[in-house]
Amino acid sequence: MDDTGVPVKIPETVRRIVSLVPSLTESVAATVPEALVGATDWCSHPAGLDVARVRGTKNPDLDAIVRLRPDVVLANAEENRAPDIEALRQAGVAVWVTRIETLEEAFGSLERMFAHACRTGVPGWLEAARQAWRAPFDGPRRTAVVPIWRRPWMVVGRDTFTGDVLRRLGVDNLYAGHAERYPKIPLAELVERRPDLVVLPDEPYAFSETDGPESFPGLDCALVSGRLLTWYGPSLTEAPDLLRRALG
């Protein structure tokens, strides 16, 4: 069964994989590159990835995916739409869905995905990532807000992978207790909360030195790589050190 509890019939040998999640695409490309035959237009890593493109995570070209004759399609409960997943299954395609909201879930989910959906061993980079995140944080803690969009302003809320990554680095999300996972919050409220840090990733909205920090006068802002903050894959091996530097 996949992470959502759905039984998925996977052939004993997997030779053709389509990934509908950028971080899973990078994970497969780093582990069994010869099996990866399709990915979304948003799958940017590794650079120069030469596979069939099947549009986006929210609007995949289902006919194109079926024509690729995948042994399995890799998806995610948050990033991909349930109707698309169901349509592929109705077309006879095996779809393995991950559900990841914490770092520990990422490690376990990826291990199971490679073992059962990709029919391969645990990759060395996954164990290296576990080791990289093993040391607990023992310094002073800080509070933060984490915008992911503007016009309207949206922030990271409850039960997110991003929030768990930051928590492990000593940064506590002020909206972790919000009822929504990605709530819309007026800018004035974000500023009035006076967080120790405003964390500005470069995806999904591309915050930059000239687009974002000016909205939070008097507050410390940290521009960080969205890939390091939100992707669960080979980037996890370098994410702790690079994020610590970026967060200051």
Q: What is the model's pLDDT at position 44?
A: 93
Percentage of the chain beyond pLDDT 70 is 100
pLDDT per residue as tens digits for the range 79-104: 999 999 999 999 999 999 999 999 99
Q: Can you give the pLDDT at residue 136? A: 87
Integer Cα distance of 85 and 7 in angstroms: 13
Q: Are 14 and 119 in contact (CB under 8 A)?
A: yes
Question: Residue 210 carries which DSSP code?
Answer: T
Does 1 have pLDDT greater than 90? Answer: yes
Architecture of domain 17-122: 3-Layer(aba) Sandwich (3.40)
Specify the CATH superfamily of domain 142-247: Nitrogenase molybdenum iron protein domain (3.40.50.1980)
pLDDT of residue 56: 95
The strand pairing partners of 184, in sequence order, are: 154
Share of the chain above pLDDT 90, in %: 98
**Domain span(s) for CATH 3.40.50.1980 in the chain:** 17-122, 142-247
pTM equals 0.92
pLDDT, tens digit (0-9, with 9 covering 90-100), for 217-247: 999 999 999 999 999 999 999 999 999 999 9
At 132, the pLDDT band (50, 70, 90 cuts) reads very high
> Residue 53: is it exposed, middle or buried by C-beta count within 10 angstroms (0-12/13-18/19+)?
middle
